[in-house]
Structure 1
Amino acid sequence: MHKFPKILWAFFLIGSVQAAPQLNPRVPDVYVVQEGDTLWNIAHRYLKAPWQWPEVVKANAELEDPQFLYAGDVIAVRHATLKIKRGRPVVKLSPRVRTVPLPRPIPTLPMDAIAPFLSRPLVVGKGELRRAAYVVANSDRRLLSGLGDKIYVRGLESLDRRLFSVFRPGKALRDPDSRAVLGYEAVHVADGQLVGQKEDGVATLHILRMRDVIHPGDRVLPAEKEEAITAFVPHAPPMPVEGRIISVADNTSRIGLYQVVVINLGRDDGIMIGDVLAIYQRDIKVRDPLHRKKVQLPRERSGLLMVFRTFDRVSYGLVLQAVRDIHPLDKVGNPEG
């Protein structure tokens, strides 16, 4: 069975009882899950409030792992609710039968949009990168290093690990209201394998993958071991949420569909992977033409995002709906409906 975070299971099992989710009009009575589908697209197709998918999970609790959908599964409308029938073959494992890899559930979000962010970049605390190992030079003594090169690293202590990642210090992530630093982005540069023992405090890495050229002084950390979570249940946060978009992955001033953003809420605030948040325009005040005073306009929803990676004080989310322009510093909160 595929892993599912216990904290999310607890949320589903002890969460407050909600009304049955309303179906969209004219949905197909039967749908067969296809390779290339995402859980969000299916939830969005069937439910007026896609973040109520946990109610579908509860309605199919007789399945071994109802939180997942697999290619070949059949979704059917039964009495105004959704029932799931497994279409994948049951694989029986036996010492005398060759091992067959278990099918993987379809991802919750489009992988081409979030894959670069599932394990990198990192958000680190003050001084964490400064204390890390660093690149001294490459084997050819050139200024820049690339794919296939060997680099020399000083300060590595975890020589029992074979894989390492190279990072470059990025920007500080600040809370827009308090101006407090919530963390520092560590920009992923490359990955390498340890190929030589440390001599005089210097170890050798062979570069296996790279996203940018490597500079002397770039920092080196052990590669993350944990497999990224790609299948999870979209849900509304169980508590009131109010935050802001504080950064955009590609540093644009206008944010659109399937762009990755950073919000000023993290695990310390109760944010979990799979949280669906509404995006609202920043507070807009205009001058009353008769009384000459500024008045606050009602907030308007600009779109939706889903959190797919969390840190202590910030989280990464993917914009899944954009009904009007979205900008950095726009607000995020609980979805309505």
Structure 2
Amino acid sequence: MFKKQLILMALIIGSVFTASADEVVLADAHPDTYVVQKGDTLWDISAVFLQSPWLWPEIWHANPQIENPHLIYPGDVINLVYVDGQPKLTVDRSHPTVKMSPQTRVIDHDQAIETIPLAEIEPFLKKLRILNKADIDLAAYVVAAEEDRNVSVTDHAIYVRNLKNARQGDRFAVVRPTVIYREVPTDYPWETSKYSETESIAWKKSSDYTTDAVMSRFWKNYIDRTYWESVVTLGYEVAEIGVAEVTRVGTSDITTMELVNTTQEVSTGDLVLPLDDFNFDPYFMPKAATNNSENIRVVALNNALFGSGKRQVVAISRGAQQDVKVGDVFAVYRPEKVIRDEVMHPKNDLKTLFKPSKANVTLPAELVGHVMIFKAFDNISYAIITEGNRPVKLFDYVRLP
């Protein structure tokens, strides 16, 4: 009996290792070598070799003889080799990066290929940030402008209330409230709500002095206000619209500032925050996500009315506090859908007159694409759609790839 148990355990362990090895599947018609081109991204190159590009770290064979072996440059040759029967990718760099020789050309690391197209996510890296409730309660705000202007632009003076520890010459970001992100309840009334409505709603700082938030150009929003007022708030998004410099620190709680740069007109109610010192590494490695929560959702689409496609940006309802990291790749699924089986039960079917649910069938959740996280806040993350065969829509489920 004990021998049988040992055999059974060995078979189970063997099957686990086999399954693990089978996770890395080479792409159809993959090459044995690939020369990196200017304009390539790490994701593009991964997709050349792998059916699941986020498994790149599993087969990347870093060469310790090369400085920064995880960085790839135009002109590098990527080779597919086999080590102990397993596929590995190595880089052949004919231009060494470090040798104590005056003839050696040193590679400019700024020329390394990016993981995803930086230009397509730059506005989300530099212009948007997400705050928590404490940040909002403490935030300074524009209370008035010189000469009683309704709006102000570059070189205009503004008056800011509640700015703490500011000194003459200090610079701050002027930001505008955009949307509140809220949790998507599992009991959302799908049958009675429009699919295009979003849980993101406009907000304002809790003060008699501030004005309503204005929807930014980043997200299209369709709001069901009554339903979402009672659900959990995940974060408050703001968009940077300018930079202001302190010109005079008053004896009261009013600070005079000059707008040194604006991308939109500044008005009362806009917030004043420290400049964002966020540093972004464009050379991160894609990897399979580890957060397996049941109810991670797509909670915003970038400039999309009904759905977003490849290389567009979405927001998902989990962040750093739930161990979501930059580089994490998730699969996106369309939720299950309940429909009436009109083949067996037409609308005039008397058998379902008193029990309509008898005619219902549930269509399964469907894979629509994959997204990669590029910026993670406490409870919200921004992601870029890396691939997909259908549009990604609001409320789609976000799960392990």
Normalised by the length of structure 2, the TM-score is 0.70
- The one-letter code of the counterpart of 1:222 is P
- Does 2:382 match 1:316? yes
More deviation in 290-299 or 210-219? Answer: 290-299
| Counterpart selection for 1:290 from 326, 337, 344 | 344
Question: Could you report, residue by residue, the CA deviation over 1:249-290 in whole angstroms, capped at 9, with x for unpaired residues?
Answer: 336332222221111111222211111111111211122333
Q: What is the distance in 1 between the residues matched to 2:165 and 2:138?
A: 14
2:248 pairs with 1:245: no
Per the alignment, residue 162 of structure 1 pairs with 170
* Aligned residue in 2 for 1:232: 284
Q: Which residue matches 1:103?
A: 109
Q: Residues 251, 169 of structure 1: CA spacing in aligned structure 2 closer, same or farther, 3 A cutoff?
A: farther
Residues 147 and 130 (structure 1), Cα distance of their counterparts in 2 relative to 1, 3 Å cut: same
Aligned position for 2:181: 173
Letter in 2 for 1:187: A
Give the stretch that moved more between structures: 174-183 or 108-117: 174-183
Distance 1:101 1:23, change over 3 A: closer
Residue in 1 that maps onto 2:264:
212
Q: Is the 8 A contact 2:301 2:307 kept in 1?
A: no
Correspondence for 1:266: 319
1:198 to 249, 264, 286: 249
Structure 1 residues 92 and 199 mapped into 2: Cα distance closer, same or farther (>3 Å)? farther
Kindly state the Cα deviation for residue 208 of structure 1 after the two structures are TM-superposed: 4.1
Distance in 1 between the 2:332 and 2:124 partners? 21
Question: 1:296/1:238 Cα in 2 relative to 1: closer, same or farther (>3 Å)?
Answer: same
Q: Distance in 1 between matches of 2:383 and 2:185?
A: 20
Distance 1:148 1:112, change over 3 A: farther
Residues 1:270 and 1:162: Cα distance change in structure 2 (over 3 Å):
same
CA deviation after TM superposition for structure 1 residue 31, in Å: 2.6
> For residues 332 and 100 of structure 2, what CA distance do their matches in structure 1 show?
46
Which stretches in structure 2 are left out of the alignment for 5+ residues?
1-18, 187-230, 346-357
TM-aligned CA deviation for residue 328 of structure 1: 0.2
Which residue of 2 is the match for residue 331 of structure 1? 397
**Pairing 1:26-65 to 2, within 5 Å after superposition:** 26-57=29-60, 59-60=61-62, 62=64, 63-65=66-68
Aligned residue for 2:390, secondary structure, equals coil
1:220-245 Cα shifts (integer Å, max 9, x gaps): 00012231232211111135344111
Counterpart secondary structure, 1:129: helix
CA gap 1:167/1:81 in 2 versus in 1, 3 angstroms? same
Cα 1:22–1:124 change in 2 (3 A) is same
Q: Which amino acid aligns with 1:180?
A: V
How far, CA to CA, are the matches of 1:87 and 1:224 in structure 2? 39
Larger Rg: 2
Q: 1:91 to 1:171 in 2, by over 3 A?
A: same
CA contact (8 A) 1:119 1:228 kept: no
- Cα distance in 2, alignment partners of residues 249 and 191 from structure 1: 24
Letter in 2 for 1:162: D
Moved more, 64-73 or 224-233: 64-73
- Give the count of matched residue pairs: 314
Aligned residues of 1:20 and 1:55 also touching (Cα < 8 A):
no
Partner Cα distance (2:315, 2:260) in 1:
28
Structure 1 counterpart SS, 2:324: coil
Corresponding residue to 1:305 among 357, 365, 371: 371
Is the 8 Å Cα contact of residues 299 and 316 (structure 2) preserved in structure 1? Answer: yes
Once the two structures are superposed, residues 59-91 of structure 1 have per-residue CA deviations (whole angstroms, 9 ceiling, x without a partner) of 225354343323332212223432113355525
Q: Secondary structure of 1:118's partner?
A: helix
Aligned residues of 1:40 and 1:108 also touching (Cα < 8 A) = yes
Is 1:153 paired with 2:160?
A: yes
1:295-334 per-position Cα deviation (integer Å, ceiling 9, x unaligned): 2212211111111111111111111222113210011111
Contact 2:335–2:364, Cα closer than 8 Å, also in 1: no
1:76 to 76, 79, 93: 79
- Secondary structure of the residue aligned to 2:79 is strand
CA distance in 1, matches of 2:108, 2:257: 34
1:103 aligned partner, one-letter code: H
Which stretch shifts more, 274-283 or 202-211? 202-211
TM-score norm. by structure 1 comes to: 0.82
Give the % identical residues. 33
| AA in 2 matched with 1:249 | N
| 2: CA distance, partners of 1:101 / 1:203 | 47
Q: Whole-Å Cα distance in 1 between the matches of residues 279 and 336 of structure 2?
A: 39
Do the aligned partners of 2:174 and 2:243 also contact (CA within 8 Å) in 1? yes
Task: Give distance in 2, aligned partners of 1:173 and 1:317.
Answer: 15
Q: Per the alignment, in what secondary structure is the counterpart of residue 133 of structure 2?
A: coil
Structure 1 counterpart SS, 2:120? helix
Q: Give yes or no for contact 2:176–2:238 (8 Å, CA) kept in 1.
A: yes
Is the partner of 1:116 in helix, strand or coil? Answer: helix
Deviation track 1:40-62 (CA, whole Å, cap 9, x = no partner) reads 111122211101011133x2253
State the SS of the aligned residue for 1:128: helix
Q: CA deviation at 1:205?
A: 3.8
